[in-house]
């Protein structure tokens, strides 16, 4: 299979799937294709879309790739789908989400220490919308739940991975109360 054909297959597969597909899965579907090759095809496709002004682009999101429409077409699509404006996330929930995203895994008490207010409602919203979930329990008094973000979160915020989070300008000092400092890879 030549490159042109392989590229077409990648395009077709991305068209068929409604959600992000991993490179590995794409490569597996195409005999004799490696992951770097698939990534190359995706890049080429994206360049072609951009240069020829097509309606699509391939987006890296939540550890996979998906075919999405161009942002400029949103008004028409929304009208045709009769879909209301995207449900927004409240400020409190967003702040809580940001804290979880950058500090995960983190307990509710630790979030509240940062925000200075009760986060029960915000946390409930986030769990309900599947942006965060319980990832474990902290081995401290009371064994409180630890929360972390989900791939749904990456999906809804257009992030390829946690590394793609916007960097916090100044890396914050660690909580003095935080006995077990988290391997905060997501901050780099």
Partner 1 sequence: MRYEVSADIYEGPLPLLVELAKQHLIDIFLIKLVDLTTQYLAAVKASGVDLNQLAEPLPLLGSLIALKARSLLPRPDQPAEEDEVPISLEELERRLKEYEQFKTVAQLLAELHALQHQHFTRAPGEEPQAQPSTEAQAGSFDVSIAELMGAFAKVLERASAAVYEVQAEPWTVEMKVQELRVLLTVRQQVRLLELLTPDKSKLELVVTFLALLELIRQRVARAFQERAFGDILVACRDAAA
DSSP 30-76: STT--HHHHHHHHHHHHHHHHHTT-SEEEEEETTEEEEEE-GGGHHH
Provide the minimum distance between the beta carbon of 113 and partner 1 in the complex, in angstroms, as a whole number. 8
> How many residues bind partner 1, per CB under 8 A?
56
Burial of 176 (0-12, 13-18, 19+ CB in 10 A): exposed
Q: How far apart are CA 80 and CA 103, in angstroms?
A: 40
Annotate each residue in 91-130 with x if it binds partner 1 (CB under 8 A) or - if it does not, as one string.
x--xx-xxx-xx----------xxxx----------x--x
Separation of first and last alpha carbons in the chain:
40
Question: Which of 134, 137, 140, 184 touches partner 1 (CB under 8 A)?
Answer: 134
Handedness of CA 124, 128, 131, 136 (dihedral sign): positive
**43 touching partner 1, by CB under 8 A:** no
**69 touching partner 1, by CB under 8 A:** yes
**146 touching partner 1, by CB under 8 A:** no
Q: How far apart are CA 154 and CA 167, in angstroms?
A: 15
Is 31 or 170 the residue whose CB approaches partner 1 more closely? 170
**31 touching partner 1, by CB under 8 A:** no
Is 45 or 101 the residue whose CB approaches partner 1 more closely? 101
Report 72-91 residues binding partner 1 (CB under 8 A): 73-74, 77, 81, 86, 88-89, 91
Beta carbons of 153 and 101 less than 8 angstroms apart: yes
Helices 108-115 and 91-103 pack at an angle, to 10 degrees, of 120
Q: Which residues are paired to 146 by β-bridges?
A: 136
Binding site for partner 1 (CB under 8 A): 15-19, 22, 24-25, 28, 57, 59, 61, 63-64, 66-71, 73-74, 77, 81, 86, 88-89, 91, 94-95, 97-99, 101-102, 113-116, 127, 130, 133-134, 151, 156-159, 165-166, 168-170, 172-173, 176
């Amino acid at each position: 299979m030549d490159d042109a054909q392989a590229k077409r297959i990648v395009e077709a597969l991305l068209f068929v799937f409604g959600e992000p597909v991993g490179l590995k899965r794409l490569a597996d579907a195409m005999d004799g294709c490696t992951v770097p090759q698939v990534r190359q095809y995706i890049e080429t496709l994206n360049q072609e879309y951009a240069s020829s002004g097509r309606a699509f682009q391939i987006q890296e999101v939540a550890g996979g790739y998906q075919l999405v429409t161009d942002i400029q077409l949103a008004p028409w699509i929304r009208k045709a789908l009769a879909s209301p404006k995207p449900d927004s996330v409240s400020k409190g929930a967003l702040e809580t989400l940001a804290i979880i995203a950058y500090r995960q895994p983190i307990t509710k008490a630790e979030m509240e220490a940062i925000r200075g207010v009760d986060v029960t409602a915000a946390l409930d919203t986030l769990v309900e919308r599947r942006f965060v979930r319980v990832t474990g329990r902290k081995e401290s008094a009371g064994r409180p739940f630890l929360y972390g973000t989900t791939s749904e979160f990456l999906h809804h915020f257009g992030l390829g991975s946690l590394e793609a989070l916007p960097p916090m300008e100044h890396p914050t000092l660690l909580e003095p109360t935080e006995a077990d400092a988290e391997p905060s890879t997501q901050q780099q």
